[in-house]
Every structure is written in structure tokens, then in C-alpha cells.
């Protein structure tokens, strides 16, 4: 309990994808997505910024992550239409994402700012159980993404 009588952490199960239990985990320092192997041997806590980064994983493959490259945008958008109304929102000062279980087929993650969506398969979620935060750093860094230049207000 904190000084105000609130529990210092709150965990709310969202369901299971394959052999991975998925839950929303809140502490005084913020909200995380908690992934835990059914045998309890491995677990991962992903913050909203890391989840947002996972929406780029199919376009910007990272060798240390076992996430299949390719363009699954159409399939992911279809999954969002089917499961988006069941989404749980996770936010911090850097990112806003929605997550939903897409049946037993996978975990749907949507970057609410950019509109990117990814559906992570049960095998990909199991691979995330062994990920270290620094493994996600190349996905979090967006400096190599193409952006449209903004007009200079002094040059009119």
C-alpha cells in the first residue's frame, strides 16, 4: 500500500495467447504489459514505448528478435476492425498504444499516434519472453524513419 492506502501494484489478466499469459500491470511508476510463460519460468514487462516499437518490427527487422519480417498491414488492419473494440489502452509520457487479444491467434498492438498495427503470433510472443530492453532499442529509435519536412515559418 502507498501513503494513500492504494495498492502499489495492480495486475489485471487480459487472457492467454498460446502458452503466454497476458495481463495489464500497473505500478506507481507506470503501466506495462506483462507477458508470462504458462510454466512461470519466463516473463517480460513491456512499457507503452516498447509496445509502440513492436508495431514497426515487420518493417524494420531486428536480428535479436524472432519476429517475422514482411508486410502484414492489411491483415493487421483487418484484425483491428475485428478486435479493436476490445482493446485496452496503455499510455505513458512517450507513447499511446492499444492492445487486444485477437482470439487465440495473437496479440494485437496498435500505435494510436501513427496508426500502425501488428498482430504478434503465439510463437512471437514466446520469443518476447526472452527479450531484453536493449534488444528493442533499434525499434524504439525512429531517427531513420522518413518524415516530411516542415515548412520554415521564417521563409514565407
Supply the DSSP string of the chain, one letter for each residue.
Answer: --TTS--SEEEEEEEEETTEEEEEEEETTEEEEEEEETTSS-EEEE-HHHHHHHTTTTTS--TTS----S--HHHHHHHHHHHGGG-EEEE-SS-EEEEEEETTTEEEEEETTT--EEEE-HHHHHHHTT--GGGGHHHH--TTS--PPPPPTT--
CA-nearest of 59, 58, 111 to 87 is 111
- pLDDT exceeds cutoff 70 at 154: no
pLDDT tens-digit readout, 59-118: 877 777 777 777 777 888 888 888 888 899 999 999 999 999 987 779 999 999 988 899
Q: What 3-state class would DSSP assign to 140?
A: helix
CA-nearest of 72, 97, 99 to 13 is 99
User: Domain locations in the chain?
Assistant: 9-137
Instruction: Tell me how far the alpha carbon of residue 90 is from its chain's centroid.
Output: 9
Q: What is the grid cell recorded at 138? A: 533499434
> What's the pLDDT band for 156 if we cut at 50, 70, 90?
low
pLDDT tens-digit readout, 26-58: 988 899 999 999 998 999 999 999 999 999 888
Supply φ then ψ for residue 91, to 5 degrees.
-140, 145
pTM of the model: 0.82
The span from the CA of 18 to the CA of 47, in Å, is 21
Asked whether the beta carbons of 101 and 86 are under 8 A apart, the reply is yes
Amino acid at each position: 500500500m502507498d501513503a494513500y492506502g492504494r495498492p502499489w501494484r495492480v495486475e489485471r489478466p487480459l487472457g492467454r495467447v498460446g502458452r503466454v499469459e497476458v495481463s495489464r500491470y500497473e505500478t506507481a511508476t507506470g503501466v506495462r504489459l506483462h507477458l508470462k510463460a504458462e510454466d512461470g519460468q519466463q516473463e517480460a514487462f513491456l512499457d507503452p514505448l516498447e509496445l509502440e516499437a513492436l508495431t514497426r518490427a515487420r518493417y524494420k527487422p531486428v536480428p535479436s528478435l524472432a519476429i517475422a519480417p514482411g508486410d502484414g498491414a492489411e491483415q493487421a488492419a483487418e484484425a483491428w476492425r475485428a478486435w479493436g473494440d476490445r482493446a485496452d489502452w496503455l499510455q505513458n509520457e512517450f507513447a499511446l498504444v492499444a492492445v487486444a487479444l485477437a482470439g487465440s491467434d495473437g496479440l494485437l498492438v496498435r500505435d494510436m499516434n501513427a496508426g500502425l498495427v501488428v498482430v504478434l503470433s503465439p510463437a512471437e510472443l514466446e520469443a518476447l519472453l526472452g527479450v531484453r530492453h536493449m534488444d528493442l532499442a533499434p525499434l524504439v529509435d525512429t531517427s531513420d524513419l522518413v518524415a516530411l519536412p516542415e515548412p520554415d515559418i521564417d521563409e514565407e
